[in-house]
Structures are given as C-alpha cells and as structure tokens.
Structure 1
Amino acid sequence: MKIKAVCPRDCYGGCSLILEVADGRITKVKGDKENRATEGIICRKGIEYISRNYGKNRLKKALKRVGEKGKGEFKEIDIEEALNEVAKRIKEVQEKEPLSFLFYKGAGEIGTASKVYNNFINQLNGYTYVYGDLCSAAGLEAVKATYGSVEHNAPWDLENAKLIVIWGKNPANTNIQELIHIKRAKQKGAKVVLIDIRKSETAKYADLVINPEVGTDLVLAMAIHNYLIENKKYDVDFVENFTYGFDEFKAEAKRYTLDYAERITKVSKEDIVYIADMMASIKPFTLICGFGIQRQAQGGQTVRAISLLSALLGSVGVVGGGFRYSNHTRPRLNIPKMLKPIKNIRGINVVNMGQEIKEKGIKCMLIQAANPVMSNPNSRALREALKELDFLVCIDTVVSETAKYADIILPAASTFEYYDVLRSYWHPYIMLHEKVIEPLGDSMHESRIYRELAKRMELNEEKIPENNLEFIESVLKYSKINATIDDLRKGPYLTDDYSEVVYRDRIFKTPSGKIEFKSILLDEQGFDGVPRYRENNLNNGFKLISIHNKDVINSQYLNIPSIQDKLDNPYAYINIEDAEVLKIEDGEKIRVFNDNGRVELNAKLTYDIRRGHVIVPFGQDIDLNSLIKGQNTDIGLCTVFHNIEVNIEKVK
C-alpha cells in the first residue's frame, strides 16, 4: 500500500513523501513529485526514516534512571509506573512551589499537534517557561518590522529571476530542493552571486563568490545601498511611493563609503561596485538570505539592511523578484479552544538556561522534543544545572544527551505514528501528516501523554485534544482553510487565496503601510530605527562559526548507523596559512578553546575560508556549544552562535 505523507523535520523542505506500507510496517520512503517546490527530491534524512523509526536506539519502553545523572544508565519500567511517577512529582511541586516547575519544548518536529501541551501547563497552579530563540527569530523580527509580514514568492518563481543573490545561505546542504529552481534559472541565463563567509558547497553553482569577514555583512549591505543611492541607480519611483523613512536611511548610508566597507569587510571596492551594478542592471532580481547570518550580535539589523536592497531596487511584488528569508504564508494553522496563559508564570532566557535554572530555584523540569545540552549555548552550565534538579522527565524517541540526565524518559510516538497538519517555512503548501503505523511498544503521542498526566493529577484531561482525525478537522475549520482531510490526502494543498507573487498589491502591514527603511516599531521599542553597524572588539584569537551538516539536523540522526558511518571524525576547517603559523598539519588533532569551554577535533586545512576563522560543522558528536557564552541578538531574542572568540592549539 502506498500512502502520501510529509516530512515534519525542522528544515526548509517540508518534503512531500510517498510511503510504502506492508503488514503495519513502513518498507520504503520516496519523494512525491506532486509538490512543485520539492519535485520528489528528498535528502538523506528522509531516506533514513525506516532506520529512525525501527532502529535499535528507538525507545519503545519507559526508562528510569539507575545510575548517576548524565551517565545514561537506565532500566525499562512499565509505562503506567512511569506516568504515575511523573504525575506524582509534578503534582508535589505544584502544591508547594509551582514556579519551581520548568517546562521546555523544542522544535524536534514542526507541526500543529505538538502544541497541545498548552492545555496541560495552563491548568497548573504555575510554571516557568523558556523564552528566546535558537534559530531564526532575529531575522523574523527584522523582516516583519520592515515589510509587515514574513513571506516570499513561491520557490518555483525563482526560475523567472535573471539575477539570484544568495547571501549567507548554503542551499546545497540546507535546502537542496531550492537548487532545483536555481539551476533551472541558470539554464535560462540567470546569473548567481554567492555572498558567504566561505566557499561553500553552493559556490560551484555561482558565477561570482564573495567572502566578507564574518559579522560584517551589515557594512557590505549598507555600502551597496550607499553606492546605488549616490549614483542614482535605484528605483526612485518605488522608493517614493511605497517606502517610509528613506531620508533617515540615506543619511545613515552615507557613512558606509567604499573605502570604509573595504577596510571592515575585506571585500574589495571593485567587487562591491560590481555586485551593486549587477543588482541595479539585471532584472528581475531576487535575494535569498539564510538563517545563519542573523545568529550574530547584530543579526537583526543585518537582515534588515540586506532585505532593503530589494526595496531600494523596486524588486518587490514582481515575478522573479523579492526577498526570501522565511515563508510564513497565511492562513496560519491554529488549534481551537487553546487555554490562555495562567497568571502565575515567569520566564527563563534560553541563552542563560543553565544559570537561571539555578538562580530561580527550579526543582522539577519537563522537556519535550528538545535536546538542549546539544543545542543551547553554555552547555557546560546547563549540564551542571540538570544534575542538580530534583526531578527531570524527558519525552523523546531516543536517549539523547539531555535525556541522559533524566529521572524518567517517556517514549514518544515517532514520525508517521500520529496525525498532524503542517506548513513549511519555505513553500506555501498545507500538508497532512498521516498516521501510517501505530506507535511502537509503549510509545505514545504527546497528546496522550498529557491526557494521562492530567488524569492522574486531577486536571481536566478533556481540555487536551486527542490525536485523531477529528482533531485535524477542527484545526482546518478553526484556521478557515477550505479543505477536507480527503483533499489533503490527495497531496500537497494550496489554499484558494494563495499568491505565487507576494506584495503584488503593494499592501504592507507595517505601521506606515509601506516598506520601512526606518522602522517605526523598532524605533518605538528603543532599537535602531535605521540599520547601524557597531564595531565589535573581537581582535584577539580566532572567530568561531558553526555551520549545518548536510546529513543531520542539529543533534538528530546522530544515532543512525548508516549516517554515523558516513560522518568523519569531528573536525574543524582552518585556513592553510593559519595552520602553517600554528604548525598544524591536515588531519592532526587540535584544541579549540576559550574561557567557557574546550573541544578537541581534527584539523581540515583549506583555502575556502578566510584567515582568522575556524568553522565547525554542527551536529558532530562534540560539545561545541560549551564554547558559546550565551548572548541575545540585537532584536528578536535569538542566540548569538557565530563570531565567537576562540583560540586554537595543537594537541600534543
């Protein structure tokens, strides 16, 4: 039997799949060509779903800790015993010190169904939650402040572009289906420019590659603005009619002369002019911006400056144009009858989670779909904090690095073992996540876990939606999506009001009703209304940047044997000339360290990165985030993962 499905991993793809099922077991996974964005192309992670669901590391029974916290020593216990213990421990805390209970949900899978936790925690007497973001929030806030919403043209509209500028993104690793449309545009004569801190895997598709100094993209963008404005090479009519705050922006842009930009970014004046002239003369022009570029101290304002190049050149609301960051197409998917937050709550900043767990007296913690020991900054402090908790429960499909600190691990239903409906943050389809097989062993979806806990804690379990087709129907109806489950079962679905080219109507949901060169909202909140670069003091040592690995998502998939076999031993990229100074040979073991922590890796020597940079692929089995102190971006409360000062030494 063949069943249409969707991959719910937290990445751009949102890939449509076709599953082959026999005797209640998935036997094959392949891509569904009916999705115009992904065209049946799936990555290694999608292919490995059979190993992920049925592998030896998959949890089918509840586990109880029998050894020291962090050692990962557990015994299997009956699921009823596990649920009773978890309910008892949470209830005890709720009766005495409700704010000492911390709830933390990650993005292990995207979708709607996992959000039912809301109707569990908001029946409690109180709780502490985690705020802030590890992924894309600085850029999201930036684009929303500038354009009023976060959306872009359909992925396949890329094929209509004549110039594609890819800025701080590596689709060859992180969005492989986007390459389908980029390559098709190139076949039609489009030019491709890649601006990135390194010569990435995407570089072979580019006609021009520019490598600015890490953390200086804001300067490069503003210098391009200044050149285009001074030489009157921008779309005057569009700027006058559809933008706000241009005069203040123009005054700020004057600071970014070609000489200044060359000194700061290490990009030559000639290259800056060449890129700017390409943008001004080749139409239609589209600009693709990655998430990594905003995981730095001035990440939000950097994305604002880059996104405004599309507005300056009038390349908004046109076929083959626009700015592409993330695509939060309306209507959004929402669950009906969600409880409002109770009053007795407080927050912990994700960048200081370990420290604040101690400072705020957290005693009991529940973690859902997250592995913060591997994903969060200052992981050493977090490990220490988790050790000191009175009780930790993790809901997961495997024993993650974080779950090794748990007192109880509840086995979660895995992909295709529950119903869900979801949207991608790249393409505009609505997709049904079909329940294809039953949860293995004692594993269960979070909705059932929370209903079971609610029943044991004398809360109202009926307020927590069950995971069934009626739940999906209620989400579609409440979200005003004119589609049935049968419609979604036919394949990826586009709503009637879907727009292939966004902002064609020139309607922008900003305070001014226009694209804002000077953001009214940010100005009112005390942030820079106009993007402004502030020089940092990182002049000592190397600058650490972490990049995504093609075969894993953060720490997910590290337990799949076929992927483990393909991955090299943990490594770091170092410039060849830097290595010569440090007397480091290719493949030798090095230590990357700072005041926060240290990791040991093998050196990979290359000319594809700048001197002074050390680049480490994330998703390796190392404690990389022990090097990250914990700092928020300028706007959006995202986490600063890049441009981190470190030292390197040879391990003797």
Structure 2
Amino acid sequence: MAMNRRSFLKGSSAFAFSASIMGCSSSDDDNTTEPPVTEPPTPEPDGVFHTTCPRNCGDRCSLLVSTKDGVAVSVSGDPSHPVTAGTPCVKGHAYLESIYSPDRIQQPMKRVGPRGPGATFEPISWEQANSEMAAKLNEVIDTYSGNAIVPYFYSGYSGIGASSGANRFFNRIASRNLQRNICASAGYSGMSSILGEFSGPSPEDYVNTKCFVSWGTNEQATNIHHLKFINEARDKGAKVLVVNPARTPLASQADIWLQPTPGTDATLVIGIAKILIEESLHDTGFIESYTQDYDALLARLEEFTHEQIEAETGVSKSQYQSFARAYAGAECAMIRIGYGLQRTLNGGRMVKAIPTLAALTGNIGKVGAGVVYLNTQAGGLFDWAYSGGSHLTPEDAVRDTVNISEIGKSLLPEDYQHEDGQVGPLAFDEPCDPIKAMIVYSSNPIAIAPDADLIEIGLMRDDLFLVGIDLFQTDTMDYVDYLLPTSSYIEQANMIDSYHCYYAKHSTQAISPLYQSKPDTIIFQDLAKAMGYSDPEFSESIEDILRGTWKGNISYDELCVQNWDSPVVDYPFRKNYDFPTPSGKIEFKDTSGTYFDPEKFNPVIDTGTPESDDFATKGMTDDEKSREFRLLSPAHPKLSNSQWANVKYIEGTFPQHMVYIHPDDAMRKGISDGDQVKLTASRYGQRDVVIQYTARVEAMTPAGTIFAWKNAWKKLNENGSGTAINQLTNSELTDMNFGSTFHSTRVDIALA
C-alpha cells in the first residue's frame, strides 16, 4: 500500500481547535505578544497511513489507518511487518471506538467543586488554562524551586513524539525526578547479576527453537503476536514448557506445565538444576569455558533435598524432572521470562536464578537458544539526549527523586505521623521535601499504582496543585485542578522502539487533532512559553524533533517511507560468548554488591520468599503475612494496563471486577459463583483496606492463591462500591532496583 509523503507534511488543521496562548516574557517587561504556536500538520483527507501503536506492549504493532474525508474509518494490521503480520490485537481492533468515543475530553477544563469521585469541571480556553497554570507553577518555583514539582507519567502513550515536550519541560524547570521502576526493573538487575545484561535474542528466533519455555508470562495478554513464532516452532516439532502459578492459555496447551507456589521460582530452579547435574544432562564443556563459580553453584544445590523442594514449591519431583529432561534434551532451548514474575519482594532474586538453567545446558550463543527478558537494542537508533533536552537543566539545579510505586508516601501531608515516628512525606523511607505540584500525563495512578488509597490521601491535599492530561476523565483525573485534552496516537506523528523484537518505527499522523485536543509535546511547549521560557526547544515542531532524534541505518526520510528500521545485532545473540560481566563469563555467584547486598541474600541462588523473609530482608510485614491468601493480579488481553477499560467495545465483555477463587478454597469459605465478596489487605500504616468484588469459582491458580485482573477503574465497578484491585496491592519495593511488588500482597476473603 503506497503512502504519499505529503500525508504527514502538510500544514494547517482541518479540525480547527482553539490554540491561542497567553504570551509571557522571561523579562520583567510587559510583553503581550503571543509566541507562535506549533501545531501538527494536516494530513490529506483520504489515504492509508502507516502508524505504530504506542501502548505498553513489546509488540509495538504496525497499523494501517484508512481515512475518508479526514475521518479514520478503519485500523488494520500491516501485513508486511514481520511481527504484526496483518492483524492487531483485540485492543487494536477497538482503536476507533476509543478515538471517536463521546467520552473523550474535548477542551480544557477547570475543576469547580471538591476533589475526588464525582468531581465537576467547567470548560475554559487554552489561553486561560495556560495563563493560570503558568502563574501557579511559577509561584511554586519562586517559593520552593522546581524540585517541588513532580511529573507522574508512565506508558499510556510512549514514543519520541509523545514524550519529548514533557521531558524537555521538566528538565528546564528542574523538577523532581520520577524513578519509573514500576514495570521490569528488578528483572533488569537479576538478569545483569548473572549475565551482565538484560537484553537478549529477538523473539523472531523462537521459530528456530526446539524447546520454548514461557516462565512467568502470559503471551496472550502481553505479547499476542509472539504466539505465531511459538506456534511455528511447535509445528516444526518444538516442545512448549510453561512455568506459571496462573493458568494462562499457553499453560493449558503446554507439553509440560509447572504451577509453583507464588514466589518459589528460585527453589524450583534449584530442583531442575539438581536433576540436570544428577542425570548428567549439563554441558560440561560450556560450563568450563564460559561460566564462573560452578563449584559455588554445586555447593548451593547440595543444600537442598528434593523433598524440601517439593514441599516449598508445590511441584513434584517427577514434574520438574520431566521439565529438566525436555529442556536439556532439546537441540536448542529458549526461555522467555515475564515481568509479572518479578513484581514481588523477591523478584530480582527469582529472575537471577532462571538463566542458571541456560548456562548449565549451553543454551546461549546459538540459534534458537538464549534467555529473553527485555530488549533495548532498537532504542540505540534514537538520540535520547536530544529528544529529552537534558542540556536544558540548570547547572545548579537540585533535583531529588521519588519512586513511582511509592508516590503515595511522597505525597503525604507534612503533618502525617508514621508508625516509626517520622513525620511528613517520604522517599525511599527517608524524609523528603513536600511535593507542591504534580502533572499527571500518560498514566492513571489511582488505577495502576499500588496502595491507591495512600495516593488518594495525598491527592486530597488542599496545598497540592494538580494538572491532568488525558483522553478521558479517568479515576485520577477526578482529583486534578486543570484537565487538559490530549490527542490520540493517530492525531500526531511519533517514533518508537520495540522492547522485544529489534524494530524502531515511525508513526504517521493520520488525522488532525479532534476537538480542542493537542499532542502532549505541544501542550508542554505552550505551557513552557506561558511560563516565560523562550528556549528554541519549545518551538521545535514534532517533525523536527523526530528528525533530530533519529540516528538509524537509513535516513529519516527513508524511515518515513519504509516505516521501520533495525539495529545491527550479532546473530545468534552472544555468538562470540563475550558476556558483559566483570569476568567476561556467566557468573553463577555475584558478590559485587552492584545489584543486591550479598550479606543479605545468597550470592548464588537465594530462595527467600515474601512469606519466609523478615521485613528487613524484603519480606512482608507480619500483618500482611497473617492474611490467608496470596493475591495475584495479572494483565487481561483486552486491556493495556488501565486503558480501554471504559471503551464500549471492551467494557462489559469481561468481568473487570471479579476475583477468581480455587474450588477447594471456595467450598471452605462458603463462597459460590456470583457472590459479592470483601477482600481485605493490610496496607502502609496498619490500614485495613477493603474492596468489594464478584466471586468466580475457578481453578485459575493453586489453592491458597486468588486471582483478579490488574488496574481496574474504581468508578467502573459494576457493584457500585467504587473500589478496585490496586487499593489492596503492596507498595514496598523489590529486593533489586526499586521495583514494584504488586504480587507480594496477601488478603482475606469473605462474603460481603
């Protein structure tokens, strides 16, 4: 399908929107001249436009948007792209329902009543919004400094075109930094601790494997397009092995499915490794040439009996013995490690253990083999410093850091009394300066962040200035002072990298921004100008930002026609066995202290769990441990975090506020299908938090574990309780790299 390059290079807006901005000089002079407003170009009204889905999914689908008279009429998969291969996921099929939803925020709005659920807003002009927001933010900076302002954002809309304006803005005002380690950070460190890196083979190499291992992931929900690679390998005779406490679709189809007790994966690795050694299934030549501290590993394995492993994991020796034989017996084997696995207090240690199996069997550095976690190779084609404007930060700026999962603690009132005697807001459990303003964009923290009730305490502060940017009035947007309409992904150009397969992609603007919406980059550029910043970076067009950021193997103009590019990566991955560890080898034992404290955790394989460890060594609190059930809250295929939950094509097609309980547990608790139940958790400050859900009796997880879909909206709970799952989840940080611990949550369940 041919694309006319003029479709994204032409000028004025077909859907005109109010864009006048209050000019503000950086001097004391009264200058009423408005700065020029940068607007997206107007695409041609009829055509087929190559776009890239910017949501938090490693597939990063290449999508074709067809338009008629300036209106998008269809979204389909690009049949020429190796991953998308002609069809989007179910969410992609619902894009038009989202883009043209009558519930979209259509113009800037100012809150006129109390904060919180049911908040009311009145429409205002962009000029008024920018003038008033600029005045308030400048007041905060003048009184406290930019360090009193924090951005809250994650992956609602990713990419260079979407994020560069915000990054430049917050660098220029020297805001507080947000450590965005909510997704996969513990695994980064766990992988690096043994392999020296967390990047690995491309999932396109799955087709060549003879044994595919899905460990702690759900491809249907998070990487559905990778299933075709897995199925192609299976069609050629490959075995599919799954390790997951939850019954995923792939688990139901697997040749072998191990269902360990949540949090015991490291112990399970020890059991499998013992079988490999005991039955001489290991590759002694590879171990001798390319690994270090094998003797330490053998000594660690000897500390465990198979009876102990069975008791701790809930997996029988015969089951993990079959797994070991299938994995080691394959000519080549590939392990894919999921991110949900490491969102627990011992997440880094569990991920660290898993590559041990690849090292023992020599399944690294050859075709169809390796360990896949998260790939950053495609991001090497971008100039991130140029895009983000790091040079804009004043040299004398003081910029503290708060963690995205602990944002509730950092937003607490200055007079909040903690149990340990501390007073006021905290960052990493230490006192921090109060946050006086927060801008929320590309995220919905009340739905997606843990311990949402603690966050709400902060959002209700009268002295906290809040701005929200979104497509919809989400749970979080009910708390903001100003609510601004962002444009959808087809209403602006973008450029984005995949974090699984090795593709960096361009996304063409297909339609003009609807209503009075603007791309986030332009929203932040205009706000910067209203605050008096005259830096040329705030007048650069999105097109020029993309062009300046691109440093791929082809020109930017070629990228816009070809739509994607890939970096040059050795194949097979690590074929030269040049591991980026201190020793240059795979290191079974890590005493460096770079990724974790070897005095707290065993430097070979640590088998501590949130239930067995003390709180000081990343265990649960005693209150948490006293709860009856471990709670898992994984992703659903019809949602991307909290996105699409309110889209009519999706809403009501599955139970977003349902908790799954094992039949044995349901019988013991007197719970039947359809019952209203209360879930109770112990959260920070010894708060008992209660939500109300609908029960479903089904063996989705082992007995003793219950299951609910993650990131549901409170306001969409069908039973009218206004409650959702992340009110319950744990906001403490992981053993490595300050990650999230959603799955280190225990709850009680009872009839409502």
TM score, norm. by length of structure 1: 0.95
Give the gaps of 5 or more residues in structure 2: 1-46, 413-424, 426-432, 613-624, 684-688, 715-723
Q: Any conservation in 1 of the 2:554–2:565 contact (CA below 8 Å)?
A: no
Tell me how far apart the structure 2 counterparts of residues 73 and 427 of structure 1 sit (CA, whole Å). 44
SS state at 2:75 partner: strand
Which residue of 540, 543, 546 maps to 1:469?
543
Counterpart CA distance in 2 for 1:285 and 1:179 is 16
Contact 1:428 1:494 in 2 (8 A): yes
Which of 600, 606, 612 is the equivalent residue of 2:704?
612
| Cα deviation 1:325-358 (Å, max 9, x = unaligned) | 1121152422354224553111223232122212
From 124, 143, 159, the counterpart of 2:207: 159
Deviates more, 1:76-85 or 1:537-546: 537-546
Could you tell me which runs of 5 or more consecutive residues in structure 1 were left unpaired when the two chains were aligned.
none
Give the one of 394, 410, 420 matched to 1:356: 410
Cα distance in 2, alignment partners of residues 489 and 482 from structure 1 = 11
* Partner residue in 2 for 1:456: 530
- Higher mean C-alpha displacement, 151-160 vs 585-594: 151-160
Q: What corresponds to 1:570 in structure 2?
A: 657
Residue 506 (structure 1) aligns with: 577
TM-score under structure 2 normalisation? 0.83
Separation (CA, whole Å) in 2 of partners of 1:155 and 1:498: 13
Does residue 398 of the first structure (1) align with residue 472 of the second (2)? yes
CA contact (8 A) 2:450 2:726 kept: yes
CA distance in 2, matches of 1:448, 1:65: 22
Give 1:490's aligned residue: 562
Q: Distance in 2 between matches of 1:491 and 1:353?
A: 37
Shift in Å, 1:516: 2.0
| 8 Å CA contact 1:451, 1:462 repeated in 2 | no
Task: Compute the displacement of 1:635 (Å).
Answer: 0.4
The Cα offsets for residues 604-633 of structure 1, whole Å up to 9 and x where unpaired, read as 112342111110011433421111231111
Q: Which moved more, 1:291-300 or 1:529-538?
A: 529-538
Partner in structure 2 of residue 519 of structure 1? 590
Contact 1:145 1:522 in 2 (8 A): no
Q: Which residue of structure 2 lines up, in the alignment, with residue 339 of structure 1? A: 390
Q: Bigger CA drift: 454-463 or 532-541? A: 532-541
Say whether the 8 Å CA contact 2:553–2:565 is kept in structure 1: no
Are residues 1:383 and 2:456 paired? yes
Q: 1:415 aligns with which of 482, 485, 489?
A: 489
Q: How far apart in 2 are the matches of 1:334 and 1:250?
A: 44
Once residues 52 and 327 of structure 1 are traced to their aligned partners in structure 2, the CA distance between those partners, rounded to angstroms, is: 29
177 and 404 in structure 1: CA distance in 2 versus 1, 3 angstrom threshold: same
1:295 to 336, 339, 343: 343
1:268 aligned to 308, 313, 316, which one?
316
Aligned to 1:601: 693
**C-alpha distance in structure 1 between counterparts of 2:302 and 2:151, whole Å:** 47
Paired position in structure 1 for 2:241: 193
1:177 has 2:177 as partner = no
Partner residue, 2:121? 74
CA displacement at 1:208 relative to structure 2:
1.6
Aligned position for 2:510: 436
Residue number in structure 1 paired with 2:729: 628
> How far did 1:500 drift?
4.6
- Alignment match, 1:561: 648
Distance 1:56 1:461 in 2: 37
Aligned-partner residue type, residue 349 of structure 1:
N
Aligned counterpart in structure 2 of residue 119 of structure 1, from 145, 168, 174: 168
RMSD between aligned residues: 1.9
Number of the residue aligned with 2:139: 92
Contact 2:448–2:711 (8 Å) recurs in 1: no
Alignment correspondent of 2:93: 47
Deviation digits for residues 441-486 of structure 1, max 9, x if unmatched? Answer: 2211222222212212222341346343222221113xx5433333
For 2:437, the aligned partner's letter is C
Quick one: structure 1 residues 469 and 130, their matched pair in 2 at CA, closer, same or farther if it must change by over 3 Å? Answer: closer
Q: Quickly say closer, same or farther: Cα 1:275–1:549, change in 2 above 3 A.
A: same
The code of the aligned residue for 2:751 comes to K
Cα offsets for 1:356-375 (capped at 9, x unmatched): 21223222111121111111
Matches of 1:378 and 1:571 in 2, distance apart? 19
Secondary structure at 2:201 match in 1: coil
Residues 191, 197 of structure 2: 8 Å contact kept: yes
Q: Any conservation in 1 of the 2:275–2:324 contact (CA below 8 Å)? A: yes
Task: Evaluate the alpha carbon distance shift between residue 569 and residue 458 of structure 1 in structure 2; reply closer, same or farther with a 3 A threshold.
Answer: closer
Contact 1:585–1:603, Cα closer than 8 Å, also in 2: yes
Asked if structure 1 preserves the Cα contact closer than 8 Å seen for 2:595 and 2:737, the reply is no
Partner residue of 2:52? 6
Q: CA deviation at 1:539?
A: 6.1
Aligned pair in 2 of structure 1 residues 352, 523: CA closer, same or farther (>3 Å)? closer
Q: Secondary structure at the match of 1:594?
A: strand
* Number of matched pairs: 647
Work out whether residues 335 and 474 of structure 1, in 8 Å CA contact, stay in contact via their aligned partners in 2. no
Alpha-carbon distance between aligned partners in 2 of 1:524 and 1:589, rounded to the nearest angstrom: 44
What's the CA shift for 1:2?
1.2
Q: Say if 1:279 and 1:412 are closer, same or farther in 2 by CA, change over 3 A.
A: same
How far 1:55 sits from its partner (Å)?
0.7
Q: Secondary structure at the match of 1:11?
A: coil
Task: Deviation per CA, 1:71-114: give whole Å up to 9, x if none.
Answer: 33111111111111111110000000123222222211221230
Residue in 1 that maps onto 2:283: 235
Segment of structure 1 superposing worse, 286-295 or 410-419: 410-419
Letter in 2 for 1:393: V
- Distance in 1, matches of 2:464 and 2:187, equals 37
Deviations 1:27-56 (A, max 9, x none): 100001212123123111111111111111
Percent of residue pairs identical = 28
Summarize the alignment of residues 522-537 of structure 1 with structure 2, pairs less than 5 Å apart: 522=593, 526-527=597-598, 528=601, 529-535=603-609, 536-537=611-612
Greater displacement, 135-144 / 353-362: 353-362
Which residue is equivalent to 1:592? 679
Distance 1:50 1:132, change over 3 A: closer
Corresponding position of 1:282 = 330
Matching of residue 226 in structure 1 with residue 274 in structure 2: yes
- Partner of 2:750, secondary structure, is strand
Counterpart position of 1:645: 746
2:137 and 2:595 mapped to 1: Cα distance? Answer: 41
In 2, Cα distance between equivalents of 1:465 and 1:165: 49
Amino acid in structure 2 at the alignment position of 1:410: L
Structure 1 residue matching 2:273: 3-state secondary structure? helix
- State the SS of the aligned residue for 2:550: helix
CA contact (8 A) 1:19 1:29 kept: yes
Secondary structure at 1:351 match in 2:
coil
